[in-house]
A and B are shown apart, each in its own frame.
Chain A
Amino acid sequence: QKEVEQNSGPLSVPEGAIASLNCTYSDRGSQSFFWYRQYSGKSPELIMSIYSNGDKEDGRFTAQLNKASQYVSLLIRDSQPSDSATYLCAVIASKIIFGSGTRLSIRP
């Protein structure tokens, strides 16, 4: 089992809809969770950080954390073509581990 797992996609979502990206992790001691967006040929860009159970909202983005179930998710409301990218989940326990990323495609 990978330490941080993400569905590789591609996840295709119509413009204007909600995109839901999921990430599961194996280390119960994990305390810090991050979502990054990476456009093709570019470096990762931090979108959200979340440290406590529950939801955290920032504009069109909502991160959700459930430590009991060991998952963290990212919701993108009103999806735009510019949201088409690979989304990376990062989890920190004793070390920093990135998931392999989910490719998101927003179709017009």
Chain B
Amino acid sequence: KAGVTQTPRYLIKTRGQQVTLSCSPISGHRSVSWYQQTPGQGLQFLFEYFSETQRNKGNFPGRFSGRQFSNSRSEMNVSTLELGDSALYLCASSRGLAGVGNEQFFGPGTRLTVL
């Protein structure tokens, strides 16, 4: 069974630009969660999507948004990039809502560098 896939694996952008990251969950998984990982802040929850609806949201500004498609694939968008957005962005999928305790499995991540 294929795991969670994320594209692209690496991105370099400049301040003020926007970026879109993509995540394909494990087959049969309907929930996709997004996380930001930095050395200083650790792994922080961004949001979770289930059945094309955002079900849970972390404490990030509105520049961070996402969506989920009918095939459960998800995209995350960051607008007006700032230097502090440089991080590893991880996507995780689960059969049901992760927020109620379903096991999550992570993709390889997208390394975003903002110059």
Residues of A participating in the B interface, judged by any CB pair closer than 8 Å? 31-32, 34, 36, 42-46, 49, 51, 88, 92, 94-101
Contacts and interface: CB of A to CB of B under 8 A. Distances in A.
A42 B45 CA distance: 18
A88 B43 contact: yes
B109 A43 contact: yes
Interface residues of B, dominant DSSP: strand
Contact of B107 (A32, A43, A94, A97): A43
Interface of B: 33, 35, 42-45, 48, 56, 58, 88, 90, 98-101, 103-109
Given A34-B103, A96-B33, A44 B42 contact: no
B99 A92 contact: yes
- When A and B form their complex, which 10 residue pairs have the shortest distance between CB atoms, in order from nearest? A32-B101, A98-B43, A43-B106, A100-B42, A96-B45, A44-B106, A43-B109, A43-B108, A49-B103, A92-B101
Nearest to A33: B101
B90 to A, nearest CB: 6
A43 B108 CA distance: 5
A95 B45 contact: yes
A92 B90 contact: no
Contacts of A88: 43
B107 A95 contact: no
- Among B42, B107, B108, the most chain A Cβ lie within 10 Å of the Cβ of B42
